[in-house]
Amino acid sequence: MPENGSDTKKLTQSPADALANIAPRPGRSGDPCIMVIFGASGDLTRRKLIPALYNLAQAQLLSREFSVVGIGRSPMSTEDFRKKISEDMKQFATTKIDPDLWEWFVRRMHYFSGDFKDKGMYPQLKTTLEKIDQDHSTHGNYFYYLATAPEFFGPIVENLAANSLMEENGQRWRRVIVEKPFGHDLESARALNQQLLRVASEKQIYRIDHYLGKETVQNILAFRFANGIFEPIWNRRYIDHVQISVTETVGVEKRGGYYDTAGALRDMVPNHIMQLISLTAMEPPISFRADVVRDEQAKILHAIQPLTAEEVLVRTVRGQYGEGVLNGERQPAYRNEDGVPSDSKTETFVAMKLAIDNWRWAGVPFYLRTGKRLGGHNTHIVIQFRRAPFVLFRDTPVETLMPNQLVLQIQPQEGISLRFAAKVPGPVMHLGAVDMNFAYADYFGTQPNTGYERLLHDCMIGDQTLFQRADMVEAGWCVVSPVLDVWKALPPRNFPNYASGSWGPKEADDLLERDGRYWRNFEK
């Protein structure tokens, strides 16, 4: 029997209360360093990077010996840059600003005006960094964030290296974060990798994918490998198929000029979706060291069977949104967006059926889709299990057994849900679907988050686990290259082929229905 009711109290605690009593291990503070942002006057800096850095400072994960140097083509003084950042934070901060902390933070911001392709700029930048290094005791550690157009990636890193700004010695490190898109096809991705690797080592290059900053994406590994009830059934014997959906309600907004040169396939599949596939399907790594995890991810990407030209015609779907109604408002067609040609053949929707050629996943299709102006804003992974045998229910009113589904919700709400069948109360045997839902906010609370905090912090401590390696980037492009080739040779004749606010073209539903399966949609 429990004494003094102490054990009873423990048993009746809610999960949230129990977790609140567990003291989290303090995280490691980032190394002393200077963050150099190329493209500091752009949207990414003010919307994501500066708020993320402030959140790290608030969480005491930013070194006290830290500084930021923003580089942009816009003429601006350091004081003007600080004022601009302060104004931007009023709009984009994800938490209440502490005046004392902000004063400390903003005094570490500096601005340097220059043309990224001007070789004469880099010796001046070197002198500036050396002075700031002395002023803030950053130990000679620099990392460069390339928040620029892709055409500048190679020249910037080459010019940094030519001025010894990528040179490491002793305990001093130098790193570079490269934003997507990393190439526009396999050949250009290989060329960019070769260009960077001529002047920097792989351990210095951090190819960023902000989707991997999402808590649920990181939790895929914890969920799979820390829970003994799931890993044994995470294979072809128990899983019927996998769906990965990245659906957006927004259109191309003000990015029509760029988007029309890329399209949904290039924009989302080789990077975001391939990362989600690799984390979902990879074998257990022997540790969480960066290259050990990435080795397993790379194996999955290489195991995805390339589609033949004939398979592209039956296993892929492309679409372009037309006019429609979304959230009660009339939306224009893609071809009427700013910067988009009136006869554009660029796809805003992609659906594909892929197969992974290894022992664990043989015969299990992976369906993926991504698109704009769809019926809901949601990123999720659906693991659908095989149906149970029907024999027990053959003499009951039950006509079919519903499959169990495990859903990993990545955005906008992060969480995990499990759908299973339960008997409906009453004298007759009827089954109903029940969803068990776990939301991160309910159990762990919420933290100020832009999606970049973890990634910036990992770069500061030298952890490349959530960053793509050269072979992973190229493997992702290998999957989409046959599709790009066929689509280029056979332009679409029926664009636009889905209305804004719908779930995409009918052919996307047909892709699954031919196999007796259906997309799992999540309304707003």
- Catalytic residue numbers, as ranges: 272
**Helical segments of 247-345, H only:** 256-268, 274-281, 290-303, 309-315
CA distance to 99, 275, 504, per residue, from 519 (Å) = 48, 20, 11
259: burial class by Cβ within 10 Å (0-12, 13-18, 19+)? buried
Rounded Cα distance between 87 and 96, Å, is 14
* Inter-residue contact 366 to 353 (CB < 8 Å): yes
- Check residue 304 and report its DSSP letter: B
The three-state DSSP-derived secondary structure of 45-94 is HHHHHHHHHHHHHHCCCCCCCEEEEEEECCCCCHHHHHHHHHHHHHHHCC
Rounded Cα distance between 209 and 181, Å, is 9
431 φ/ψ angles, rounded to the nearest 5 degrees: -110, 145
Nearest to 175 by CA among 204, 145, 212: 204
**Helical segments of 107-210, H only:** 121-136, 153-162, 186-197
Helix/strand/coil percent split, the chain, to 5: 40, 20, 40
* Inter-residue contact 307 to 315 (CB < 8 Å): yes
Coil, strand, or helix at residue 302?
A: helix
Rounded Cα distance between 167 and 174, Å, is 7
CB-based contacts of 110: which residues, under 8 Å, 6+ apart? 67, 68, 69, 70, 78, 81, 128, 132
Rounded Cα distance between 524 and 174, Å, is 44
Coil, strand, or helix at residue 194?
A: helix
